[in-house]
Structure 1
Amino acid sequence: METLGTRLKELRKNKKLTQQSVADVLGVSKTSVIYWEKDENVPKHESLTALAKLLDTSTDWLLTGKESKAFKTLSFDEIKKKFGEPTTTNLNDMTSDIGVYEYGDPVPEGFTAIDYYPDIKASAGNGYINLEESSPYKIFIPTVEVVTSGASATHCKIINVDGESMIPDLYPDQKISLDMSATKIYDGEIYAFTKGSELKIKILFNWGEEGQGGFRAVSRNPDKVRFPDEYYSPIQIESENIRIIGQYWMKIDIRKVRR
């Protein structure tokens, strides 16, 4: 089975480069290169870009064995008809490693375009139906981050956090990504789920006191008076149409400056 490590090792040998020479060019240790080739670690975005340049290939090929393809876009008229007038996302609000999709742009090499839903907020109602449709808004995330996390890029969505129940892990208006292919509950992980028309994000635990398949939803905020634990039995899950939407895997860690 081909991996990043096997592709890197093959290209390095074809270029007649030693592990030490690669390390010297990239400004890393020889041990780092050894770990990459053994698939015991993944190069950071800067190192991955430098590797691709040194080896005359693309970062996408190193990571996946496939070349990147341009993102298929809707026409501007189609976007307006389906989603209304789009707004412009301020690049100053994003981190330096994250780009914002503009209509007609291809996906930059080494990045993955993930659907972003600026009007959908966890804990702020009736957003799940929209999540099932593609969004014209995209946020570019370094592919290496997606690969390292094990997330399924084709099932990832980016929404906004609302409320204070997950402070200090997640703050209001923070952008987070959900992997909608990951719905099996592992104790202590963060998931988004719907309860009626409300979209919630909580730490979930399996709970079987009223039957197999129930779960307990816990807020990160220590104020249990305002944010008590929630218990959902299998009967309640079925009757109230409660559904696990996906597991949280990434946040864009930006905080607003207070003045």
Structure 2
Amino acid sequence: MNSDLLAGKVVLITGASSGIGAAAAGVFCREGAAVVLAARREDRLAELTGQLRAKGAEAEYVVCDVTDPEDAARAVECAVSGFGRLDGAFNNAGVGGDRTPLHLMSDDVYDTVMDVNVRGVWNCLRHEIAAMLRHGGGAIVNNSSVGGLVAIPAAAPYVAAKHAVVGLTRAAADEYATEGIRVNAVAPGTTRSEITEDWFRRNPGLEQMVNSMTPQGRTAAPEEIAAAAAWLLSDHCPFLTGTVLPVDGGFVNR
């Protein structure tokens, strides 16, 4: 994909050190964006940023824990101070938690999943929107999940958190529609990442079961999710806001 879909845009990506976030960094740069990569693991951020720059891309990174509002503010400021503005943001950082029946789930797992997946998006939205209001608007894509649209067995905190991301997306889209800010979400199906690889490793047979429930019969590559996010961030869909786009091989149709 080399269509310059995001040419001239400055885009912040959270959770950028691996999985969908790292894939998004590559896809967005190939589409012409300057990117700011935010995540907790500086070694991976530095390596990925170096790879992107070696290919001629404009890329910076900032160490960021999205559960810390000051870190979220600093990530946005990195984009504004480095490139003059923030045109787009992909709020991708998230955790999966344990696959455990609800009545056996620990409070610690619930707290971690909700803190990263919901408060993390909340923290980022507040600072991204403030920056976009100062610079004439922009577009935001939140990473939800098919778990934000339908139930997933033995993953209650994750399902609750991803439904909350859908709610935040729709609320922000409604509130800032007249301010030139579009807010949408992607809802990925099963996608190759460290989270899913860990789930598959700890739950033999899970991958086969999930693939059997997906009409396309396979697991997505992270670049496929990133491509959908790139389109939502682009100027090709100016009348699209408050939408949750399943990128799931038809999973939610079953």
The answer to whether the superposition gives a TM-score over 0.5 is no
TM-score by length of 2: 0.25
Larger Rg: 1
Q: Give the structure-1-normalised TM-score.
A: 0.25
Flag the structure with higher helix content. 2
More strand by share: 1
Higher relative contact order, chain-length normalized (CA < 8 Å, sep 6+): 2
